[in-house]
Structure 1
């Protein structure tokens, strides 16, 4: 409440304060749209790299427990990045939850045997739905999703700090322009 009163005093009245808040919200929305586009573009590039790494793990490396875990982790990362492509403004924790739930649902679907039948009909589907249930995959999916959330949260925090600095600069500039227009004390008005 005190911050609002200070904004009203500084801006020259409630109407001007409302206009200032609207300008700040418009600028913040533009920064959010720009951030969403950037986040989507980065996610698309990283998704291509993750899918390539997953295919290398699946095709080129010998089948072992380690390659199975790496493949499951890369699958979860790919799902996380896919959710970002669909919802770039989503919070990391929510996106991580969606990715983990998708991976767990796919793993539980494998208990029915349908992914094996579908994979026999169209082999690339095995890469998306898997072929057999393994309880370890549930743990790997949860861990990989948690790692994605942690990394994404750190990146988002850095980006929001940058956006906040930009928004504060816009607000300071708007306040300085208002002071110049009003001829605030301490400022010399230029005569034309």
Structure 2
């Protein structure tokens, strides 16, 4: 189990990184970093709600949700949701969602291994 405070702080840091990347860079780097961070945030939120969840389960869930949102962009996304969910399907995004989930899974696994009794 991961304590909720470090997870909440991690989620806050992810949001700050996302805002920082968008403020400091433009173009493909900022876009794809944002994709990975979007999935990383979903990962952190899942762990916040389900602190006993296993890393591979959370990685699959966060990547799966990100992919579902991306594939939903093949249809019509309501205009009020476009700032959060996007509006244009972009196949490379799928890779970067997986990168975000895999990075978080690795960090989560390391956290659990370093804590006695986890």
When normalised by structure 1's length, the TM-score is 0.57
Q: Which has the larger radius of gyration?
A: 1
- Gaps in structure 2 of 5+ consecutive residues: none
Q: How many residues align?
A: 118
The aligned residue for residue 21 of structure 2 is: 57
Distance in 1, Cα, partners of 2:96 & 2:5: 26
What residue is the counterpart of 1:45 in the other structure?
9
1:19-168 equivalent positions in 2, closer than 5 A: 35-36=1-2, 38=3, 40-58=4-22, 60-114=23-77, 117-118=78-79, 122=80, 125-159=81-115, 162-163=116-117
Task: Provide the alpha-carbon RMSD of the alignment.
Answer: 1.6
Deviation at 1:62, TM superposition (A): 4.5
Kindly report structure 1 stretches of 4+ aligned residues shifted beyond 2 Å. 55-58, 125-128
Deviations 1:51-101 (A, max 9, x none): 12212333x234301111110011011000010011000000101110010
Aligned to 1:29: none
CA distance in 2, matches of 1:111, 1:157: 40
Q: Please give the per-residue CA displacement for 1:21-41, whole angstroms capped at 9, x wherever unaligned.
A: xxxxxxxxxxxxxx44x2x21
Q: Which has the higher contact order (CA 8 A, sep 6+)?
A: 2
Report SS of the residue matched to 2:74.
helix
Q: Which runs of 5 or more structure 1 residues have no equivalent in the other structure? A: 1-34, 165-192
Bigger fraction of residues in helix: 1
SS in 2 for 1:112: coil
